[in-house]
Every structure is written in structure tokens, then in C-alpha cells.
Amino acid sequence: MAFKCTLVKMDPHTRARAGLFSTPHGEVPMPAFAPVGTQATVKATSPHELRELGASLILANTYHLYLRPGADLIARLGGVHRFMAWDGPILTDSGGFQVFSLAGLRRIDDDGVTFRSHIDGSEHRLTPEKAIAIQEQLGADIVMAFDECAEPHDRAYNEAALARTHAWAERCRAAQTRHDQALFGIVQGGIFSDLRQESARFLTGLDFPGYAIGGLSVGETKAEMHAMLEATTPLLPADRPRYLMGVGSPEDLFEGVARGIDLFDCVLPTRIARNGAVLTRRGRLNLRNAQHADAPHPIEEGCACYACQHFSRAYLRHLIAAKEILGLRLTTIHNLHFMLDLMRQIRASILDGAFVAFKDEFLASYRSVPEKAVTQR
């Protein structure tokens, strides 16, 4: 088998794990943060830069690529790795999340979802089989089951959605024809521990090579999200990667890792960068603020990223004020470096048996943005 999950170290005080996940395009050291390349490009960056930043896994979105430029085209051009010139591991989602987010533009039935394109209004249909077929055309290393993401507090809806998600997981498993792609099942169940546990048990029975936790960071509180992780990860097989979809912020990485999560993805670092917001050890700051107008120092002293090694906050603020592309390139580079380097440090701390100390130290000085857990995808 092309995939191998090796656990290297378990933290003695939490559920944190350090490991390696091998794919046909290389190894993913875990825990890992995956930058999001929605349309087969991590916004504002080049593959060369992502490599230099030390990204090991990146995400691409099936919904977006299916609509434009089309999965057939990408397949004819050799698959998404060749298309975007990224020869490392890639994960594609199933398209479900984006389709279910198209309120008013989609109709769900037990067989699948009919929806209209946000680009041109054309009608399309996704089923479990279609989601797998598209992902096989794209050719990512890790592919996701087609699931239904429900409003997290609606018990009745979550019960109905979970039944569909489980039926669709079986159909996805059966539809898979490529064995160089690891298909992950997705645990759903809103904020209901019993539903989450039922889902984890059901999916584990299907023996997926990895498990995702979906339907979180969609409007519930951080405490609710943490409770769902605590209800779920103990039921997942220890020797398979666990992927928390659409999460998260720097503090979310610590909280997720502590609860047994191995993989994360989020547009947060790249999206806030394009608004001038940058991550530092003390929290976020916005370079648009006047206080940075004549600051000769970098975003963060000691930071090894290209932006901090060469440019002042004053220059970055100028670029942002003048709407220059280099401004958002540099804030993106910094924020991705921050997240990827933080994850490297988290992994090193687990290997050193110092995860809890590192977590406490980081969270003591990092001022979180007070917000509900909301997926930024």
C-alpha cells in the first residue's frame, strides 16, 4: 500500500501525537498544517515559495476545480500535481462543504445534491460516486468522502444528515477505483457527543486509511468544538491520521493537537494576510494601522521569513495602502511561515516530551481574537 501512518511519539500528558504519513508524493510529518489552494493555487504564493516555507501538504477544492477549469481538463493535463506544479502531497475535499454552503442554490436528496454554479448559474449534481470520480480525475494523494455538513445545533437535521453521510461514506468506499489515493471518512454529528460517537464507530467499521472530523468551526463555540473532539478521537483507530477540517487559528492548533488531531487546514493565514493582518507571537496585528507608518522594524523580530528578513512594517504598510501586490504576497508569506513554523515547533515539543510546557508558554503570551469558531474556507 502506498500509504503508511507511523506514530513516532505519544505525549504522556495529552492526546498529542507526533508521526509521519507517507503518500505517493512524499511524507507528511504530523501534526501538520495544510495551506489551502482553493483553485489549485495557494493564493498569492508560488509552489517554489511553498516548498521553501516547508509546506508538506496542501489542499485543493473539488467544487471550485470541478466548475473551473473542470476536472476533465486537469485530468488531460496530467492531474492536479502537474497542473499546479506542486509535486508534494495534495488533499482534495469532496466538494460537499462548498455545495452545502450555497444556501438557496442547492437541493439535497438521499442520493446526492443538485446545485447551481456560483460562477454562471449552471446546474450540476454531486453524488458520492461523482465526488469520487472527480477526485480521481484530479488525482490528489488524500481524497475525502462526500458528506453532509449540517447546522451544528439542530439535532433533528443532524440525525438525518448523519444517516445520509454514513450511507454516502459506504458508497464512496465502493466507488473508489484508484488505490494510490487515501480516502478519508468524515465524522459528523453537530455538537452532539452521542451522534459524533455513533459516527466515529460507524466509519471506523468501514476501515478508512484516515478519518476527518467535519462540521466543526461552522458557528459553534470553541468549548463545543473541543468537547466534540474529546468525544470523537478516542474512538478513532490510533494508527490512522485524524484530520480536523477547516481549522484553524494558532490557538486552535494547540487545542486540536492536545485532543489527538494530526492534520489541519485553514484559509485563515492567507485570507487575513490579504486584509493586512499578520500573526505574531503576541497575537494578530493589522499593518493598516497608523502606528506602523514609520516603524523600521519587521513584523516580528527574529522571524526567519522573507518578509521579516528584508522589510520594515513601514514598507509593508505602504504597499498595502498603495494596493501593491507585493504587500499581500509578503503578509501571506509571513502568515504561512508563522503557521508552518508553529506546527514544526509543536511537533518538536511532542518529540521532546515538552508539548504541555510549550502550549502553556505560547498561549500565555498569545492574545487570541475573541470569536466563535467559524470556518474560513
What positions carry a catalytic annotation?
Answer: 93, 265
Residue 297 exposed, middle or buried by CB count within 10 Å (0-12, 13-18, 19+): exposed
Does 306 sit near its own copies (CB under 8 A)?
yes
Alpha-carbon distance of 209 to 200, in angstroms, equals: 13
Task: Cite the DSSP H helix spans in the chain.
Answer: 47-53, 62-67, 71-76, 80-84, 96-100, 128-138, 155-175, 193-204, 222-232, 250-258, 268-273, 306-310, 313-321, 325-351, 355-365
A 10 A CB-CB count for 238 gives 14
C-alpha grid cell for residue 207?
476501515
Quick one: which of 322, 364, 370, 371 contacts its own copies (CB under 8 A)?
322
**Identity at 23, one-letter amino acid code:** T
Please choose, out of 127-135, 186-194, 213-221, 291-299, the segment that lies near its own copies by the rule CB under 8 A.
Answer: 291-299
By the rule CB under 8 A, 335 interacts with its own copies: no
Contact flag: residue 206 with its own copies (CB under 8 A): no
Question: In terms of CB distance, is 79 or 237 closer to its own copies?
Answer: 79
Among 22, 41, 286, 376, binds its own copies (CB under 8 A): 41
Please name the residue that has the C-alpha cell 490579504.
274
The cell for 86 is: 506542486
Nearer to its own copies, 40 or 225 (CB): 40
Sheet holding 242-244, edge to edge: 32-34, 263-265, 242-244, 210-213, 182-187, 142-144, 90-92, 58-60
Q: Smallest distance from the beta carbon of 88 to its own copies, in angstroms? A: 14
The one among 5, 16, 32, 44 contacting its own copies by CB under 8 A: 44
Give how far Cα 250 sits from Cα of 219, 256, 304, 363, Å. 18, 10, 18, 9
Residues facing residue 284 across a β-bridge: 279
- Nearest distance from residue 146's CB to its own copies, in Å? 23
Q: Taking CB under 8 A as the rule, does residue 40 contact its own copies?
A: yes
- Determine the length of the chain: 377
Quick check: 291 binds its own copies (CB under 8 A)?
Answer: no
Q: Binding its own copies by CB under 8 A: which of 315, 338, 362, 366?
A: 315
Among 8, 73, 223, 348, binds its own copies (CB under 8 A): 73
Sign (positive/negative) of CA torsion 244, 250, 256, 257? positive
Q: Does 36 bind its own copies (CB under 8 A)?
A: no
Is residue 286 a contact residue for its own copies (CB under 8 A)? no
Where does this chain touch its own copies (CB under 8 A) — which range of 200-208, 283-291, 312-320, 338-346?
A: 312-320
Is 4 an interacting residue with respect to its own copies (CB under 8 A)? Answer: no
Closest distance between its own copies and the C-beta of residue 87, in Å?
10
- Could you tell me the smallest distance in angstroms from the CB atom of residue 295 to its own copies? 9
Stretch that binds its own copies, among 67-75, 192-200, 239-247, 362-370 (CB under 8 A): 67-75
Count the neighbouring beta carbons within 10 Å of the beta carbon of residue 194. 9
Choosing from 14, 101, 193, 312, the residue that interacts with its own copies (CB under 8 A) is 312
Residue 270: what are its φ and ψ, rounded to 5°?
Answer: -80, -35
Binding site for its own copies (CB under 8 A): 39-41, 43-48, 64, 68-69, 73, 76-78, 83-85, 293-294, 296, 306, 310-312, 314-315, 317-319, 321-322, 324-326, 328-330
